[in-house]
Amino acid sequence: NITPAKRLQTLPEQFFAALVAKANARAATGRDVINLGQGNPDLPTPDSIVSRLKDAASNPKYHKYPPFRGFLFLKEAVALRYKEDYGVELDPEKEIAVLFGGKSGLIEISQCLLNPGDVCLVPDPGYPDYWSGVALAGAEMAFMPLKESNGFLPDYEAISENELDRAKLMFLNYPNNPTSAVANASFYSQTVDFAKKNGIVVASDFAYGAIGFDGNRPISFLETPGAKEVGIEFYTLSKTYNMAGWRVGFALGNPEIIEMINLIQDHMYCSLFGGIQEAAAEALTGSQQSVHDLVAIYESRRNALYGALAEIGWNAPKPAGSFFCWLPVPAGHTSMSFADLLLEQADVVVAPGSGFGTNGEGYVRLGLLTTEDRLREVAARIGRLGLF
């Protein structure tokens, strides 16, 4: 009889692992299931990146342990991308840490900064991995409601004094998963002031940074004057280059925090396989045409899906960024009962909003992660249920 440590006992089942299991069980019965539930890009990594890995894999220099904190050429590559895309200068040695996808950093930042009794401000609805990191650190969460009426931005005025006194860390995520909202420069400068005044570190999760629609390019938190004094940004190749399986991400910004993340990682890993680092550098420094093409694909898919949803009477504002659609559930349903109904009666997998927090109740999240035809098929199947 082996008892897990207390920190594990506070850890819930991983939300997407449970969702994927449900979808797979349905598909195993032979049904034609369309899975828009998990945020897993359906398109392949561009050829130029894959072929770089193939060549690099035979280079003996990569067969040894890589440098503890990653190859300098990779950090220079991400610094170049931030300079070109956002006008942000980063010192590759001191202001960049190489991660195993953004996900490892999301957990590590809580280990770096939170003690039991400390509070972490988390968006609600929000990406569930933030909670896991806080739980593993034995700290507490204070949820910041993201309301549609406020553009799905948190209201810093609404946070209680007690929570503010104990808050050490705050997660933000724009373009937002799950609401698809995008933040503007004035919100970020308000954030820097708020963080300075209250001694809170900002962790900006920029996983969907490349994906903005209707000609609007999302801005990076690090573009904000003073941002590097108060925080870091998580950046990942998973969505931008269809590299979710490669596990390449970065923490960027405040050098003291970057040092803490690197220190933890020195004890846990020895960085990514060098061949992957070389291919990742190719992604960041090569032609960015594939990124423009990808955004155009998601935008066409969005337009196809919303056109078809309007025809069945399911209306909502179109996403501004990310590849998620945040749609209200029909009257008489919870987000979970509606998601279950769609799985059982339409063979469509969506993520119930309640999985992202209390304020996610009343919504479901659909990913734009299949072809336009299949997205129209989703709308047709749902339309046949006659719920709208």
| Spatial distance between the Cα atoms of 349 and 163, rounded to a whole number of angstroms | 37
Contact between 236 and ligand PLP by CB under 6 A: the answer reads: yes
Among 132, 238, 271, 290, binds ligand PLP (CB under 6 A): 238
Strand 348-349 vs strand 34-35: parallel, antiparallel, or unpaired?
parallel
Of residues 38 and 198, the one with the C-beta less far from ligand PLP: 38
- The Cβ-side half-sphere exposure at 277, using a 13 Å CA radius, reads 26
Nearer to ligand PLP, 40 or 300 (CB): 40
Largest CA distance in the chain: 62
Whose CB is nearest to ligand PLP?
101
Which range touches ligand PLP (CB under 6 A), out of 96-104, 133-141, 190-198, 347-355? 96-104
The answer to the question of residue 102 lying near ligand PLP (CB under 6 A) is yes
The residue whose two tokens read 């070389």 is 278
Q: 151 exposed, middle or buried (CB, 10 Å; 0-12, 13-18, 19+)?
A: middle
Nearer to ligand PLP, 324 or 338 (CB): 324
Identify whether the C-beta of residue 369 lies closer than 8 Å to the C-beta of residue 244. Answer: no
CB 26 within 8 A of CB 33: yes
* Minimum distance from residue 239 beta carbon to ligand PLP (Å): 7
Contact window for ligand PLP (CB under 6 A) among 7-15, 225-233, 236-244, 282-290: 236-244
In this chain, which of 43, 244, 291, 336 binds ligand PLP, going by CB under 6 A? 244
Q: Could you tell me the smallest distance in angstroms from the CB atom of residue 384 to ligand PLP?
A: 30
Measured from the CB atom, the residue of 171 and 338 that comes closer to ligand PLP is 171
Handedness of CA 110, 112, 116, 118 (dihedral sign): negative
* Beta carbon of residue 205, minimum distance to ligand PLP (angstroms, whole number): 5
Q: What does the DSSP assignment read for 298-337? A: HHHHHHHHHHHHHHHT---PPPSBSSEEEEEPPTT--HHH
101 binds ligand PLP (CB under 6 A): yes
E strand map for the chain:
34-35, 96-99, 119-124, 140-145, 167-172, 201-205, 231-236, 249-253, 324-328, 348-349, 351-352, 363-367
Q: How far is the CB of 180 from ligand PLP (least distance, A)?
A: 11
Residue from 37, 39, 46, 274 touching ligand PLP (CB under 6 A): that is 39
Site mask for ligand PLP (CB under 6 A), range 162-181, x = bound: -----------x---x----
Question: Could you tell me which of 172, 251, 289, 152 has the C-alpha nearest to residue 219?
Answer: 172
Task: Considering only residues 106 through 165, tell me which ones interact with ligand PLP, judged by CB under 6 A.
Answer: 127
- Measured from the CB atom, the residue of 244 and 291 that comes closer to ligand PLP is 244
Per CB under 6 A, the segment of 49-57, 98-106, 159-167, 329-337 that binds ligand PLP is 98-106
Examine residue 205 and tell whether it contacts ligand PLP (CB under 6 A): yes
242 belongs to the binding site for ligand PLP (CB under 6 A): no
Q: Any idea what the Cα angle at residue 200 is, between residues 196 and 202, rounded to 5°?
A: 95
Residue 105 beta carbon to ligand PLP: minimum distance, rounded to whole angstroms:
8
| The one-letter amino acid at 150 | N
Nearest to 194 by CA among 232, 213, 167: 167
CB of 175 to ligand PLP, least distance (A): 9
Nearer to ligand PLP among residue 182 and residue 387 (C-beta): 182
Span of 63-71, 95-103, 144-152, 252-260 interacting with ligand PLP by CB under 6 A: 95-103
Rounded Cα gap, residues 385 and 350, in angstroms: 15
Using CB under 6 A, list all residues that contact ligand PLP. Answer: 39, 101-103, 127, 173, 177, 205, 207, 236, 238, 244, 249
